[in-house]
Amino acid sequence: MWGALLRSGVRGTGGLRSMSSGGPPWSQVVSEAEKIVGYPTSFMSLRCLLSDELSNIAMQVRKLVGTKHPLLDTARQRSLAEITELIHTAFLVHRGIVNVGELKSCDGPLKDMQFGNKMAVLSGDFLLANACTSLAQLQNTKVVELISSAIGDLVQGIYYENSKSSEENCLTDDIGISRWKEQVFLSHSALLAKSCQAAMELAKHSTEIQDMAFQYGKHMSMSHKLHSDLQPFVKESSSDTMAFSLNSAPAILHQEFLGREAWIKQIREAQGKGNIMDYKQLQEAIKAGKGVTSAIDLCRCHGNRALAALEHFPPSEARDALANIVCAVTRFP
């Protein structure tokens, strides 16, 4: 994505197709974006290392980071994408830590679970340390500041996610959609938005273009999170009920329309013996309200704002690829 955004250049004219016209699925648009960049999005992709000669060249070019060779700009863009991926992966690994106090005998031996936690902490810290080292090698103070602040945003966002209401047996937060969006920006959107902005800084584009890159990354990732939250409610096959977060966008919007007390009542009614949640019952309750349709509208709203940011870049295959990514996360059955 960052390579495609970098190649989309500076301000230009030309229109983007509307999301109502549809578009290819997510896997296809990502594949098309990879072709434009020239190699798979994961720098350490096993497939790339085993089968793509170009990847070996790219690995050598990456060694230019920190030098003044003319190829430096290309290598530094690429390095920034890898840094962002490392940071994202580090936090995913850290999220894999389990609360041993809530474990049951069927979850596995306590010693193994504790060992797994130690590995998650060490592995995540190792990835994050490597990302920070590579970040310093870019030798750009503004980029370091942007990505460092994104790491801070991630930590703050995860802290909010793990904070629970003091209400007894409460499984959902007492927040509105505005607060939900603030939290999602910190935990999901900030890293991508600031990485897109940093890519434009490395390419020496204007402050205005950098801001447009930030806006694209922010609103595209918000659309992606909303799309993910909506999947349990919009999948065509309803034979298998998917468990979903009671703090997901459709649930938060459902609570706003229904009222906090009524929503808590629906949750408690769906809890059977042993506090086993009947997600099918809750799913039907949310689908019967306005939460799902409102979340779809919000997803498309953020998608439109991402496309509006892309209008500031000239027409190109790269811009089309970025637009297709937006279309893919705003398509619903």
In tens digits, the chain (333 residues) has pLDDT values of 544 554 444 334 345 555 544 567 777 887 777 676 655 554 444 444 444 444 454 555 555 555 555 545 555 576 787 888 888 888 877 777 777 666 666 666 777 777 777 787 787 788 888 888 888 888 889 999 999 999 999 989 888 777 654 444 467 888 899 999 999 999 989 999 999 999 999 888 999 999 999 999 999 999 999 999 999 999 866 556 678 889 999 999 999 999 999 999 999 888 877 678 888 999 999 999 999 999 999 999 999 999 999 999 989 888 999 999 999 999 987
| Torsion 13-19-25-27 (CA) sign | positive
pLDDT digit string, tens, across residues 247-263: 999 999 999 999 999 99
Structure tokens at 120: 């998650």
* Of 79, 72, 71, residue with least CA distance to 44: 79
176 Cα distance to chain centroid: 21
* Of 97, 219, 115, 109, residue with least CA distance to 162: 97
CA distance 79 to 57: 14
Structure tokens at 278: 């009947």
Q: Does the domain formed by 176-332 have CATH 3.40.50.261?
A: no
CA distance 224 to 228: 6
pTM: 0.77
Q: What are phi and psi of 271, to 5 degrees?
A: -85, 120
Q: What are phi and psi of 69, to 5 degrees?
A: -65, 145
As a whole number of angstroms, the longest Cα–Cα distance in the chain is 67
Q: Are 23 and 321 in contact (CB under 8 A)?
A: no
Q: Are 214 and 194 in contact (CB under 8 A)?
A: yes
CA distance 299 to 301: 5
CA distance 47 to 41: 11
Structure tokens at 330: 């705003």
**Residues shown for the chain:** 333
State the pLDDT at residue 166: 40
Q: Who's near 315: CB < 8 A, 6+ residues apart?
A: 12, 13, 14
Q: Are 60 and 74 in contact (CB under 8 A)?
A: no
For 220, the 3-state DSSP assignment is helix
Q: Are 154 and 103 in contact (CB under 8 A)?
A: no
Q: What is the CA radius of gyration of the chain?
A: 22
